[in-house]
Amino acid sequence: MDRLIIFDTTLRDGEQSPGASMTREEKLRIAKQLERLRVDVIEAGFAASSNGDFDAVRAIAGTIKDSTVCSLARANDKDISRAAAALEGAAHKRIHTFIATSPLHMEKKLRMTPDQVFEQAKLAVRFARRFTDDVEFSPEDGYRSDPDFLCRVLEAVIKEGATTINIPDTVGYAVPELYGRFLLDLRERIPNSDKAVWSVHCHNDLGMAVANSLAGVKIGGARQVECTINGLGERAGNCSLEEVVMAVKTRRDFFGLEVGIDTTQIVPASKLVSGITGFVVQPNKAVVGANAFAHASGIHQDGVLKARDTYEIMRAEDVGWSANKIVLGKLSGRNAFKQRVQELAIPIESETELNAAFAKFKELADRKAEIYDEDIQSLFSDEAVTPHNEHFRLVSLAQRSETGEKPHARIVFQIGAEEVTSESDGNGPVDASLRAIERRVKSGAELLLYSVNAITSGTESQGEVTVRLGRAGRIVNGVGADPDIIAASAKAYLSALNKLYTTAERLNPQTSLAP
Ligand code: KIV
Ligand code: ZN
């Protein structure tokens, strides 16, 4: 059977969404989960974009054994050498080089002639082949490029040794049938097209990234899909991995393709990415949304109870949903906790991390009688278990609110080694708490988003709060979980401040001017 290669770019294209930037440790945790998910290729980053990204790609390359690790590089020797250096320790490595080929991008962004782009593309692939025989080439804004010019460039880069040809719909302009035919036309016209694997890379600006990718596979004959967990990505995001994989698996009768993904790792991957980036998954999101398998109407419930497949085309457990099980409680010991953490396939970096999580578990179990799998997962997405990131940390919070009275909050928190106390009034208890923090920190950041979600069902559920802050063009997200949503809000705000005060600046490949 034909095989479809799953190329995950959560750590590169996904990370380009404002506020989604991740630390090296966070990227490493996600990469390990992607390996458990058995993705074929992990695009770990854009090594030349910053020292931080270089380190992250290098750490992932040195850790991941089963998946191919890839770095993006613009079509120049400097970027490609940097990618090659970061990938040196990889068991399987790929260099992904790109240059824009649409008239608009060549003229306005690159200020290069088509002939110059043609030469540069060839030289880049030739140079990349010095470091690995797995080289991918992308003509950026490929879908809006002139097909004749594209045929000329792609034939030449395949001759130079490109083994994967990726056709990006960079701005999400395509519609399924046209995109599929565009790919087919290229493959039919390029004499050496059979020497490369063809790949699709679709953005979701018109909500068609998944449909376009599947059309590229079905009509265009692509055998690689580039996608991200939860569809994370700039603007409206990228093609979502979970949707493409489950479409191909569920409609195997139509697509006739194999994918190597362990689908039971999809929901854990979704939760990990959402917890780390602070990009909450909408409840009605296909496959990974909280309501994706919830049957509310009586007719549907009745049908599902009688025969599951009356209203279900996939099984929740096949994509990694666990049934909100009460797993542990106040009396559970460290061994029981460790065992459940292992069953949930949560990676534990060290005994220190396990101990920190166990201490937090005990604290939580004192306040919440029933601890669910989701609660345990939230302990590990909480920054409190990775203390090296924490410059700001909540110690305690007291707040008073009463009908007709102005709410007031008093917060004690750590700034580095110093413990500080701050107080404020506010419009509500959340407002008062965040103002109290801001009164002391004076970050001057603008609050761009505040949202609360229940981690499990019922009023005794923990609240998970996401806070998005913006300052001087930089956007960061923070997440905090606690049975008390005011405390969760303060944790989320402090977590966002922790990110705001780290200084990793990165280049964005799509907006950078130089080729
Ligand atoms: O969307 C795009 O064009 C890209 C390329 C760099 C592959 O992400
Ligand atoms: Zn992209």
* Ligand found nearest the CA of 72: 1
Evaluate if residue 151 carries a pLDDT over 80. Answer: yes
Lowest mean pLDDT among 53-57, 79-83, 449-453: 449-453
Q: What is residue 264's predicted lDDT score, i.e. its pLDDT? A: 95
Ligand 1 atom having least distance to the Cα of 168: 3
Secondary element (H or E) of residue 298: helix 298-306
Evaluate if residue 236 carries a pLDDT over 70. Answer: yes
* pTM, full prediction: 0.87
Gap from CA of 56 to ligand 1 centroid (Å):
20
**Ligand 1 pocket residue status of 79, Cβ below 6 Å:** no
Ligand 1: which of 46, 164, 225, 510 to mutate, most ligand atoms within 8 Å of CB?
A: 510
Whole-number CA gyration radius for the chain:
24
Average pLDDT rounded to a whole number, residues 64-87: 98
Evaluate if residue 388 carries a pLDDT over 60. Answer: no
Ligand 1: which of 170, 171, 200 to mutate, most ligand atoms within 8 Å of CB?
A: 170
Average pLDDT rounded to a whole number, residues 496-510: 78
**Ligand 1 pocket residue status of 216, Cβ below 6 Å:** no
Ligand 1: which of 13, 109, 508 to mutate, most ligand atoms within 8 Å of CB?
A: 13
Query: Higher pLDDT residue, 307 or 268?
Result: 268
Give residue-wise pLDDT tens across range 212-221: 999 999 999 9
Instruction: Report the topology of domain 387-501.
Output: Double Stranded RNA Binding Domain (3.30.160)
- Number of Cβ within a 10 Å radius of residue 318: 13
Gap from CA of 95 to ligand 1 centroid (Å):
14
| CA torsion angle 478 481 485 489 (round to 10) | -20
Confidence of residue 300 (pLDDT cuts 50, 70, 90): confident
Q: Is the dihedral of CA 484, 487, 491, 497 positive or negative?
A: positive
Gap from CA of 139 to ligand 1 centroid (Å):
8
Ligand 1 atom having least distance to the Cα of 203: 1
Q: What is residue 306's predicted lDDT score, i.e. its pLDDT? A: 79
Q: What is residue 325's predicted lDDT score, i.e. its pLDDT? A: 60
Gap from CA of 367 to ligand 1 centroid (Å):
47
Gap from CA of 172 to ligand 2 centroid (Å):
9
Evaluate if residue 499 carries a pLDDT over 90. Answer: no
CA distance 236 to 420: 40
Q: What is residue 187's predicted lDDT score, i.e. its pLDDT? A: 98
- Report yes or no: 125 and 162 within 8 Å, Cβ to Cβ: yes
Q: What is residue 402's predicted lDDT score, i.e. its pLDDT? A: 93
**Ligand 1 pocket residue status of 172, Cβ below 6 Å:** no
Give residue-wise pLDDT tens across range 156-169: 999 999 999 999 99
Evaluate if residue 328 carries a pLDDT over 90. Answer: no
CA distance 168 to 156: 18
Q: What is residue 185's predicted lDDT score, i.e. its pLDDT? A: 98
* Ligand found nearest the CA of 170: 1
**Ligand 1 pocket residue status of 94, Cβ below 6 Å:** no
Q: What is residue 514's predicted lDDT score, i.e. its pLDDT? A: 54
Query: How far from 383 is each of 25, 205, 266, 276, 378, CA to CA, in Å?
Result: 11, 32, 22, 9, 10
Strands 257-258 and 408-415: unpaired
Average pLDDT rounded to a whole number, residues 99-115: 97
Q: Which amino acid is at 257?
A: L
Instruction: Show the CA angle centred on residue 401, arms to residues 398 and 403, nearest 5°.
Output: 170
| Residues in the chain, total | 515
Q: What is residue 513's predicted lDDT score, i.e. its pLDDT? A: 46
Average pLDDT rounded to a whole number, residues 250-266: 97
Evaluate if residue 275 carries a pLDDT over 90. Answer: no
* Ligand found nearest the CA of 71: 1
Evaluate if residue 307 carries a pLDDT over 50. Answer: yes
- Report yes or no: 336 and 288 within 8 Å, Cβ to Cβ: no
* Residue ID of nearest Cα to ligand 1 atom 1: 170
Give residue-wise pLDDT tens across range 118-146: 999 999 999 999 999 999 999 999 999 99
Ligand 1 atom having least distance to the Cα of 98: 6
Query: What is the percentage of the chain residues whose pLDDT exceeds 70?
Result: 94
Ligand 1 atom having least distance to the Cα of 166: 7
Ligand 1 atom having least distance to the Cα of 16: 8
Confidence of residue 385 (pLDDT cuts 50, 70, 90): very low
Can you spell out the DSSP letters for 328-394?
E-TT--HHHHHHHHHHTT-----HHHHHHHHHHHHHHHHH-S-EEHHHHHHHHHSGGGSGGG-SEEE
Instruction: Look up the CATH superfamily of 5-277.
Output: Aldolase class I (3.20.20.70)
Evaluate if residue 305 carries a pLDDT over 60. Answer: yes
Q: What is residue 381's predicted lDDT score, i.e. its pLDDT? A: 65
* Residue ID of nearest Cα to ligand 1 atom 5: 140
Evaluate if residue 349 carries a pLDDT over 80. Answer: no
Gap from CA of 99 to ligand 1 centroid (Å):
9
Confidence of residue 384 (pLDDT cuts 50, 70, 90): very low
DSSP-derived 3-state class of residue 476: strand
Give residue-wise pLDDT tens across range 407-460: 999 999 999 999 999 999 999 999 999 999 999 999 999 999 998 988 877 788
Q: Residue ranges of the domains in the chain?
A: 5-277, 320-381, 387-501
- What are the tokens at 254? 């139509």
- Report yes or no: 32 and 346 within 8 Å, Cβ to Cβ: no
Confidence of residue 379 (pLDDT cuts 50, 70, 90): confident
Q: What is residue 363's predicted lDDT score, i.e. its pLDDT? A: 87
Evaluate if residue 324 carries a pLDDT over 60. Answer: no
Ligand 1 atom having least distance to the Cα of 510: 6
- Number of Cβ within a 10 Å radius of residue 458: 9
Lowest mean pLDDT among 97-101, 192-196, 379-383: 379-383
**Ligand 1 pocket residue status of 138, Cβ below 6 Å:** yes
Mean pLDDT, rounded, of the chain: 91
Ligand 1: which of 49, 76, 98 to mutate, most ligand atoms within 8 Å of CB?
A: 98
Q: What is the DSSP letter of 426?
A: -
**Ligand 1 pocket residue status of 26, Cβ below 6 Å:** no
